[in-house]
Amino acid sequence: MERFKFENCKAVATPMLKTTEDDSTKSGKAGVKFPYRQAVRALMFLMTGTRPDLAYSVGYLSRVLHKPTAEDVIRVKRVFRYLSGTVSKGTVYKSDCDAGIVECYSDADFGRCTTTGRSTSGVVVCHAG
């Protein structure tokens, strides 16, 4: 986060605010001077390695890599603010748990995007705690 100058930012409890698809399609000022792609790439690296709680946010932010608006930059900055308050969280692997049990959870939102008709789904699999 040092690269993006978020060392002393005010932490927030959630990585994204609840918005509607119509909010994300508003035309804002494009061409904002912020390394948006690099920031989303850094978040994606964290998501795949140790922070699966960022999966939805990173997927949402990745939809506008070509021409991010000022609202998109505010959204990516909010995820960094969330990270500053949850530095101690991450994936934990326990060796003292019953390794034979696998728990699976899934959720889906079919056709939620009113613009494209795309669905969003997610899966969580717990093994060894």
In 3D space, the residue among 24, 21, 14, 5 whose CA is nearest the CA of residue 83 turns out to be 14
For residue 7, is pLDDT > 70? no
- Read off φ and ψ for residue 17, nearest 5 degrees: -95, 150
Tokens linked to 45: 């690296």
Q: How confident is the model at residue 39 (pLDDT cuts 50, 70, 90)?
A: very high
pLDDT band at 127 (very low <50, low <70, confident <90, very high): confident
Q: For the segment 110-122, what is each residue's pLDDT rounded down to a tens digit?
A: 877 777 777 888 8
Q: List the domain boundaries for the chain.
A: 2-88, 92-129
Q: What is the mean pLDDT of the chain?
A: 80
CA atoms within 13 A on the CB side of 84: 17
